[in-house]
Amino acid sequence: MEEMEEELKCPVCGSFYREPIILPCSHNLCQACARNILVQTPESESPQSRRASGSGVSDYDYLDLDKMSLYSEADSGYGSYGGFASAPTTPCQKSPNGVRVFPPAMPPPPTHLSPALAPVPRNSCITCPQCHRSLILDDRGLRGFPKNRVLEGVIDRYQQSKAAALKCQLCEKVPKEATVMCEQCDVFYCDPCRLRCHPPRGPLAKHRLVPPAQGRVSRRLSPRKVSTCTDHELENHSMYCVQCKMPVCYQCLEEGKHSSHEVKALGAMWKLHKSQLSQALNGLSDRAKEAKEFLVQLRNMVQQIQENSVEFEACLVAQCDALIDALNRRKAQLLARVNKEHEHKLKVVRDQISHCTVKLRQTTGLMEYCLEVIKENDPSGFLQISDALIRRVHLTEDQWGKGTLTPRMTTDFDLSLDNSPLLQSIHQLDFVQVKASSPVPATPILQLEECCTHNNSATLSWKQPPLSTVPAEGYILELDDGNGGQFREVYVGKETMCTVDGLHFNSTYNARVKAFNKTGVSPYSKTLVLQTSEDTDSEEQTLPFPVPSERLPLRRMSPFSSTLNLQPSFPGRSYFDFRSSPHQLSLHSSLQSLNTSVAWFAFDPGSAHSDIIFSNDNLTVTCSSYDDRVVLGKTGFSKGVHYWELTIDRYDNHPDPAFGVARMDVMKDVMLGKDDKAWAMYVDNNRSWFMHNNSHTNRTEGGITKGATIGVLLDLNRKTLTFFINDEQQGPIAFENVEGLFFPAVSLNRNVQVTLHTGLPVPDFYSSRASIA
């Protein structure tokens, strides 16, 4: 009931309607308020002048909207009648409920009559304050508008329902709460007033007394005044004009303007309209129910937003704290390196001080001894020892001249912290919003006619579906590890063709692709099964499908490009999830099977120790530390025979670099072979040893110098590992029974620099020996 209150208030005064009248636009006004907003119009716009000119067609003539500006579009607060030069501009005011109304240009004359009976100024105009339609009144004035008896009844019931308690109507001072109501007298009584004014005797004994609540109901159900015709005030409404959509009396049908109109019985139309209103209310009730449920949903959203905000803030704080912790840990590691460098410099300088001090003491003693010998006057005795003393003095002098007086260590720290990438990343740290305003791209289609394998490379091509309307910003190509393992990203970009080099020979790979845009990622394409070859000696091979010649240059972008990197290729794109596809396509190479294979690869910066320094397209490495650090090759081998070489570019102070193979999870901060994840040969300038799991075996004479070449032969067919120095086998077969996935590996310190050479054939003597075996 409370929501209905605004429907029961006048748009002008803001109070409950009093004697409401119905305007032709179906809106309601209090009679007094309607009189207050009347405006007098010029004589030329009166109904009489319109009828005289033949332009009037009804009792209520609406003014042209272009002549009467009823509402200021710019919301300036003023309304004006632009069609009348003589009409003064009247300020626009607001009623208590916010509706703009136009007060009369002149105040109404004082009168003692009711608003309905008071005379109306000639040629008056009234404007509906709700729809702003204007009309000119006829001679009947406000009496020409029908009264809304139904609205009056609704207001009475609403006001009675809002009353807190019924009060006695006969108490002289403060009314007491009523206890009974007399239906005949239609009066509420308290007990003292009932005994005094309505005693139960005489004629009053026949009156029926009921409780106040029941009396309120009987008041609601009591018959009200029957509305009368506005044109014939003494006649009640008896019929309904279908054309004019209004109740009429019998005189209107006989002699009025409704005589030729279709009419129906008032009671039948009353029931019909009640039925139509009930049906319309059913639909509106459903919408209201949906609105209530929607409001409940919105209120739940408010609570959920608050909860999500707290959770998101906690997550953000945790992420920032994790970054700070990681930075603190890295700070501790860097400080430890600085302290280690500090201790190393001090140790070298102190060792040199100690060495020079001892040598200086020896030199000083030799000098003092020689001076005393010079003082001797025995020629023969002097000559007996002079030659030896002269040689000792020259030898000692030569020892001081071989860089002994040059500091072995500088005072400067050869360390420079590059924090610009981190600062840039911190400045770029921001939220990533995934907008779901557009759909995700369609699933890409693999083009089998352009997919092929060649040696240990595979070329894949794909396209968007022909009828796809959602553009893709890029594509993600994924391959497994050749052993049925987890898929990894190998390409992210806009191209629709990609060549994958450096795969394992004689292996089966699964490939799939998906598209992405700002909204998200598409489903995966069908999985394509690729079989690499065992034969790479022949340059002319038959491809399983015809590939357009103009697209063949795309097959290999770089001879050292490798895509089987078991670390994610794009760590910043971790929001792309991995999902398998039940649909698979098969693609096999028709190449023949031989025994050896050639692979191109480079060192892998992603898996190397942070002290490793890369150059020459990741083919040359050295180290910034005096301790041994490990670096791996990008390509792993699990089948076939593979050979690669490393040349010694720099070799100072006789360090012990190590060469061999290792697993991906080998320790990176110790010499290669110290743990059970590496098989290596470490060598100095005189001899070499084989080492695995910190076990040293097979000491072999023959070392390395600057310019030397180290060869590594991994024969996974025979499960052996062999080493070469300057094209000569170094010792026996180093390791046997090696199985699994191996990566080329090197460990070195700052005194060594090596360069990797790949794509080499197996040494001839080994090939001939293997063929004989």
pLDDT digit string, tens, across residues 504-553: 878 888 999 999 998 889 999 988 888 887 644 433 333 333 333 333 33
Q: Please give the C-alpha separations between residue 650 and each of 42, 706, 710, 728, in angstroms, as whole numbers.
A: 111, 6, 13, 21
State the distance between the two ends of the chain, measured CA to CA, in whole angstroms.
103
CA 265 to chain centre: 66
Q: What residue spans of 444-530 are helical by DSSP H? A: none
Residue 399: the pLDDT is 82
Give dist(CA 265, CA 271) in Å, integer: 10
Residue 559: the pLDDT is 29
Identify residue 565 by its one-letter amino acid code.
Answer: N
DSSP code for 743: E
Residue 225: the pLDDT is 56
3-state secondary structure 611-651: CEEEECCCCEEEECCCCCEEEEECCCECCCEEEEEEEEEEE
Give dist(CA 607, CA 651) in Å, integer: 24
Give dist(CA 718, CA 714) in Å, integer: 9
Give dist(CA 411, CA 681) in Å, integer: 35
513 touches 460 (CB < 8 A): yes
565 touches 606 (CB < 8 A): yes
**Parallel, antiparallel, or unpaired for β 527-531 and 584-587?**
parallel
Q: Which residues of the chain have pLDDT under 50?
A: 44-45, 47-48, 51-94, 97-100, 102-108, 111-112, 115-116, 435-436, 535-596
Q: Which of 11, 26, 35 is nearest to 99 (CA)?
A: 11
| Residue 356: exposure state from Cβ atoms within 10 A (0-12, 13-18, ≥19) | middle
Residue 155: the pLDDT is 84
Crossing angle between the packed helical segments 149-162 and 212-221, to the nearest 10 degrees = 170
User: What SS3 state is found at 684?
Assistant: coil
Residue 82: the pLDDT is 33
E strands along 666-751, which residues?
678-683, 687-692, 695-701, 709-715, 720-725, 728-729, 735-736, 743-748
The predicted model scores a pTM of 0.33
CA 128 to chain centre: 51
141 touches 120 (CB < 8 A): yes
Q: Which two tokens stand for residue 105?
A: 């240009």
